[in-house]
Amino acid sequence: MGATTSAPASAAVASGSDRVPAPRYAYVGCYTTTERGGHGEGIAVFRVDGPGRWHPMGVTATLPNPSFLALDHTQSYLYAVHGDLDQVSAFAVDHGTGGLTPLGSRPSQGTNPVHLTPTPDNRRLLVANYATGTLAVLPRAADGSLQPAEQVIQLTGTPGPDRTQQTGPHPHHIPFAPDQRHVLVPDKGTDRIHRLAYDAVAGRLTPADPEAVTVRSGAGPRHVVYHPHLPLAYVADELNSQVTTYTFDRTTGELAPRSWLPTLPSDYTGDSTAAEIQLTPDARQLFVSNRGHDSIATYAVRDDGTLLNPRWIPSGGRQPRFFALDPGGTTLYAANQSSDTIVAFHVTRDGRLRPVGRPVSTGSPVCVIFSTTGQAR
């Protein structure tokens, strides 16, 4: 389909909350299957009237486990990967009501797709398939539907020491860097971060040389977030519950570790794994969720990008697999998978989290995204 001139929502967020539209609709992905302990029924749609004030608008039935969602850059189409399956689904978004109209699905070219992102030119989707260790590039048609994958990359690497979680390549995230050309792919299974470049003309991903950076053994890198202004990237290491700061050369895509901090208190001895990681739009606060400790770790970020020691606040539920910041970075929504709630927190100027509003009840929430178009985002 033709390229759009609209800037990605993430670009608007980075410019500062004073110029960012308020969220009007929220879309919640979930687990639906018994194997996942799922209580969800599909993609839940909510009208957002303010922090912690969500009104249910309905649930769009989908294939099982619509576990990660993404809007295209015009916010006219929504895409979902289906955990444990091998499909990616497309939906048209009604800007007036927030409703979703199914546009069909396509094979993700791997099993258990866990993340997807539109390319900067809005022509394609990148998909990470966790179980089979593959990345796929799927073109978008003019009507927003998906076409068959035009590229599939099989990742390689030696499994890490965790015989349960690290059985082979397990890519968990595939976001574009701020330069909109480089892509980093944390690989939980091989303790590597793969580096690729996207060629918008050819519509293809090309591995860098070297193709991957090896991280600490047993770290299990899961998700990455980029500093909007500095040549830095922050990675949530799932298995050893750390956040790693990397220098990231935006010209070459080179990556090098700079520092590490824990995501858990030193006196905590229970089971826990790190999950989501996000920066506020002004890059002054970084957050990481902990499943097991059931908390959000908050880190102040210095002007040079250095993280200070974290503080913790309970997530308000069990197993916060995901959380989302509203576009202005003033409200954090913790998706507590095992307690079927989304809990809102006001982000104070010093980065503290204060509960606000009432928890939203929804089955097994594992992803939250916002739309700002039409009467609601």
How confident is the model over 188-200, as pLDDT tens digits? 999 999 999 999 9
13 or 27, which is more confident: 27
Q: What is the pLDDT, as a whole number, of residue 12? A: 35
Structure tokens that stand for 186 in this block:
């944390």
pTM check: above 0.85? yes
Return d(Cα 175, Cα 154) in angstroms, integer: 17
Helix count and strand count (H, E) for the chain = 1, 28
pLDDT at 364 over 70: yes
User: What are the structural domains, with CATH classification, of the chain?
Assistant: 9-371 (2.130.10.10)
Helix, strand, or coil (residue 22) = coil
Rounded to whole angstroms, what are the CA distances from 127 to 98, 109, 115, 244, 300?
A: 24, 9, 6, 24, 31
pLDDT category at 17 given cuts 50, 70, 90 is very low
Question: Which DSSP helix (H) or strand (E) runs through 357?
Answer: none
Whether the Cβ atoms of residue 58 and residue 114 lie closer than 8 Å to each other: no
Q: Which two tokens stand for residue 228?
A: 């909007």
Q: How far apart are CA 90 and CA 106, in angstroms?
A: 9
Residue 14 has pLDDT above 50, yes or no: no
Question: For the chain, how big is the Rg over CA atoms in Å?
Answer: 19
187 burial type by CB count under 10 A (0-12 exposed, 13-18 middle, 19+ buried): buried
**Taking a C-beta distance cutoff of 8 angstroms, is the pair 261, 310 a contact?**
yes
pLDDT of residue 3: 36
Neighbours of 96 (CB within 10 A): 10
Contact partners, residue 195, CB within 8 Å, separation at least 6: 182, 183, 184, 185, 207, 208, 210, 211, 212, 213, 253, 254, 255
Residue 374: pLDDT band with limits 50, 70, 90: low
Choose the weakest-confidence range: 38-52, 78-92, 217-231, 362-376: 362-376
- Rama region for 337: left / alpha / beta (φ>0; ψ in -120 to 50; rest): alpha
Q: Give how far Cα 274 sits from Cα of 198, 237, 294, 348, Å.
A: 28, 6, 10, 23
The H or E element that residue 9 is part of is: helix 9-14
**What's the average model confidence in pLDDT over 132-152?**
99
User: Checking phi first, is residue 351 left (phi over 0); if not, alpha (psi -120 to 50) or beta?
Assistant: left
Structure tokens at 357: 């509003």
Which range (14-23, 61-70, 168-177, 261-270) has the least confidence? 14-23
Containing 11, the helix (H) or strand (E) segment is helix 9-14
Residue 18's pLDDT band, with cuts at 50, 70 and 90, is low
Neighbours of 253 (CB within 10 A): 18
Nearest Cα to 235, choosing from 180, 318, 175, 182?
A: 175
Query: Are residues 185 and 191 in contact, defined by beta-carbon separation less than 8 angstroms?
Result: no
Average model confidence (pLDDT) across the chain: 94
> What is the mean predicted confidence (pLDDT) over 100-113?
98
Half-sphere exposure in the Cβ direction for 26 (13 Å, CA): 30
Q: Is 250:178 a contact under the CB 8 Å cutoff?
A: yes
Which residues make beta-bridge pairs with 79? 70, 90
Contact 183, 205 (CB under 8 A): yes
Q: What is the pLDDT of residue 21?
A: 78
Beta bridge partners of 183: 176, 196
For residue 51, the model assigns a pLDDT of: 85
Q: What is the rounded distance in angstroms from the CA atom of residue 166 to the CA atom of residue 95? A: 42
